[in-house]
Amino acid sequence: MAELALLGGEREVKEKDDISWPMYDAAERDALIEVLESRAWYNSSKCQEFEETFAAFQDAKYGIACTGGTVALEMICRGAGIGVGDEVITSAYTFIGTCSGILKAGATVVFCDIDPDTNNLDVAEVESLITDRTKGIMPVHFGGLACDLQRLLDIAERHNLVVLEDAAHGWGSTYRDRGLGSWGLASGFSFQQSKNMTGGDGGIALTNDEAVADAIGCATNVGRSRYGRTEESRQWGGNHRMTEFVAAVLLCQLKRIPEHTEIREQNGAMLTRTLSEVEGIEPIHRLEDATRVNWHVYGARYLSEAFEGVSRDAFVRAMRAEGVPVSTGYEVPVYKHPVFQEDWKARDYTPFAWTDAAQDYRSLHLPKVEQYCQERLSISQRALLASETRMRDMSRAFVKVRENADKLRDWERSNHR
């Protein structure tokens, strides 16, 4: 049996990682120069072209570009008329930006536990969280994997709620062959640097509803009409506009998404096939309706007891020594962040200052997500762009470390306990 690289053996992954991120080429360079020389640096043709192109790419009617994903989520809450006194149900396994978007609109975040098989919110629990203040459900398609949208839309219809998709990871992913972000009343995407397509930062809100598009555009453009430039503000609103430089870069980045998604799909499928055979590793479950997945982050669960009691940290160390860039993902559910755990009522200024129904999150305990954070393994989109050979070796490394679980257990006992 091959010796673990951690114990001095040869690495399973031999091919070099030659992917630099973010990717760019002459197209981005030329597009940036074009904007520079045009002197039209804001609120002009590149943003409009990007809004139309990206919305069509995701099968939505309208796009409103903005400065980031967090802002896009705030803007869609505002566009949907959600504000102070309202509650929005969302997943407890997400980035803080999901919560900030809801809170910045003035509403209260209500966390839903997750389905550990899919890493997305557990639809079966949503209805039990609905109160007479609930106005919306914000599912997060975490890692680019679609939530069970039809069931959520049915719940929303029964209770007269809106679905606002956190599609921050949704570029190119589909549900029932239609783009993520085109299903709810509105959605928000992120183009921050780690994302499958990036402008360094940046975001976009999508909707199929013209009135909602106008309301989002107004909230994004200091309370003016969507592309207005004059003194016509009809409500208070920040300046959250995307610049022409970012839009120009994103138009180039979008062109790579179809091919890259195809590669990540194939590599993700290879991983799933291999991991299904590895005792103690549960690859993420993809709903049949998740017809295309961009694998922004591929997830799996590590079950220590089925692995001779080897801790997840030791497993990750062994995998990294084999050349697999696996990590643990979020170590805690988002409601465990200090900002949710402090005694916010005792402070002069808090992110909840303008919500009148803020919750005390310190007593919140959602067992499935808390367990999941202890078990999660993540592999990022960049790693999933690997060549077939590199990906095969990465998959094999899981098998190799599994076969050596007893040796890893002994190593851990003698070194780290």
Ligand X SMILES: Cc1ncc(COP(=O)(O)O)c(C=O)c1O
Q: How far is the CB of 90 from ligand X (least distance, A)?
A: 10
- Using DSSP's 3-state secondary structure scheme, residue 58 falls into coil
CA gap 310, 291 in Å, rounded: 35
DSSP labels for 182-226?
A: SSSSEEEEE--TTSSS-SSS-EEEEES-HHHHHHHHHHHBTTS-T
Q: Across-strand partners of 77?
A: none
- Taking a C-beta distance cutoff of 8 angstroms, is the pair 51, 220 a contact? no
Q: How far is the CB of 166 from ligand X (least distance, A)?
A: 5
Q: Which residues bind ligand X (CB under 6 A)?
A: 68-70, 94-95, 97-98, 140, 166, 168-169, 190, 192, 203
Categorise residue 210: left if φ over 0, alpha if ψ from -120 to 50, beta otherwise: alpha
Q: How far is the CB of 168 from ligand X (least distance, A)?
A: 3
Q: How far is the CB of 68 from ligand X (least distance, A)?
A: 4
Closer to ligand X by Cβ: residue 94 or 274: 94
Burial level of 249, CB count in 10 A (0-12/13-18/19+)? buried
Closer to ligand X by Cβ: residue 200 or 309: 200
Q: What are phi and psi of 359, to 5 degrees?
A: -100, 160
Q: How far is the CB of 138 from ligand X (least distance, A)?
A: 9
4 DSSP assignment: P
In 3D, which of 117, 159, 168 has the Cα closest to residue 139?
168
Closer to ligand X by Cβ: residue 43 or 91: 91
Closer to ligand X by Cβ: residue 118 or 190: 190
Q: Which residue is nearest to ligand X (CB)?
A: 69
Q: How far is the CB of 194 from ligand X (least distance, A)?
A: 7
